[in-house]
């Protein structure tokens, strides 16, 4: 009996230990699987959120691009409408002045007088017409003025030792005749006329009280 009891005790003890070990191993396995499942779920949610964010950004970009295109179209239409209105006003102005004897040359209207006056008197007439004495800023405009074949005042005078246009701009491109300006024989010649019609360099300085035709210019 003693031997039998002695034999059973270890068997019973081993069985109990194996059951506990098996139970603990199963719990660890279950816990590990739960962690993996949780990580997988979180990763999946992150993927879904990322996809939703990408879609949202694309929709926002498309909406912004569409809005920008819409605004640009509206601006273009507005600018086109304004340009058309501006062009209409310009054409109306040109037609109206042509009927009054003005001549158009891009992008100004010119009035050539039929009488003679001093330089200041000529300018006063131009100002009364909503214009001023012509300001020549290019070789093409100079050639255009010369073709009228008249001795005419232009809007250039000498003030404080410098030649200036009536629009207060400095003289940068000139078409003086040979040996001009010269204050001939010591005379104070502070005003400028176009004297020679057969050459492009035709400017001549004279006293401002001389009587000449004149040309008014109105920019359109």
Whole-number Å distance between alpha carbons of 152 and 145: 9
Q: Per-residue pLDDT averaged across 135-160, rounded?
A: 93
pLDDT of 158 over the 90 cut: yes
Q: Which of 125, 112, 203 is nearest to 157 (CA)?
A: 203
Q: Are 165 and 155 in contact (CB under 8 A)?
A: yes
Judged by phi (left if over 0) then psi (alpha if -120 to 50, else beta), residue 216 lies in: beta
The b-or-e profile of 35-73 (16+ CB within 10 A means b, else e) is eeeeeeeeeeeeeeeeeeeeeeeeeeeeeeeeeeeeeee
pLDDT of residue 107: 84
Q: Are 175 and 142 in contact (CB under 8 A)?
A: yes
What's the pTM? 0.61
DSSP letters spanning 58-103: HHHHHHHHHHHHHHHHHHHHHHHHHHHHHHHHHHHHHHHHHTTT-E
Whole-number Å distance between alpha carbons of 38 and 68: 44
16-69, pLDDT tens digit by residue?
A: 333 344 444 444 444 445 545 655 556 556 655 565 555 554 544 444 455 555
pLDDT of residue 186: 79
**Does the domain made of 103-219 have the CATH classification 3.40.50.1370?**
no
Domain spans, the chain: 1-99, 103-219
User: Which of 89-103, 112-126, 132-146, 164-178 has the least mean pLDDT?
Assistant: 89-103
Structure tokens at 211: 């009587």
Which value, to the nearest 10 degrees, does the dihedral of the CA atoms of residues 147, 153, 156, 160 take?
150
Whole-number Å distance between alpha carbons of 139 and 201: 10
Q: Is the bond leading into 104 cis (omega within 30 degrees of zero)? A: no
């Amino acid at each position: 009996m003693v031997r039998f009891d002695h034999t059973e005790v270890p068997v019973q003890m081993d069985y109990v230990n194996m059951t506990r070990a098996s139970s603990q191993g199963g719990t660890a396995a279950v816990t590990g699987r739960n962690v993996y499942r949780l990580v997988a779920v979180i990763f999946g949610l992150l993927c879904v959120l990322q996809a939703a964010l990408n879609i949202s950004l694309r929709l926002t970009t498309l909406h912004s691009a569409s809005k920008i295109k819409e605004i640009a179209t509206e601006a273009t239409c507005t600018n086109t409408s304004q340009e058309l209105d501006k062009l209409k006003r310009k054409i109306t102005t040109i037609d109206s002045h042509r009927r009054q004897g003005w001549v158009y040359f891009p992008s100004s209207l010119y009035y050539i007088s039929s009488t003679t006056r001093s330089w200041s008197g000529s300018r006063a007439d131009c100002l009364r017409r909503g214009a001023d004495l012509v300001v020549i800023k290019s070789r093409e405009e100079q050639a255009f003025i010369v073709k009228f074949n008249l001795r005419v005042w232009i809007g250039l005078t000498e003030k404080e030792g410098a030649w200036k246009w009536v629009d207060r701009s400095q003289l940068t491109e000139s078409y003086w005749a040979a040996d001009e300006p010269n204050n001939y024989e010591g005379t104070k010649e502070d005003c400028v006329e176009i004297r020679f019609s057969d050459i492009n360099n035709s400017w001549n300085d004279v006293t401002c009280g001389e009587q000449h035709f004149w040309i008014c210019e109105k920019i359109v």
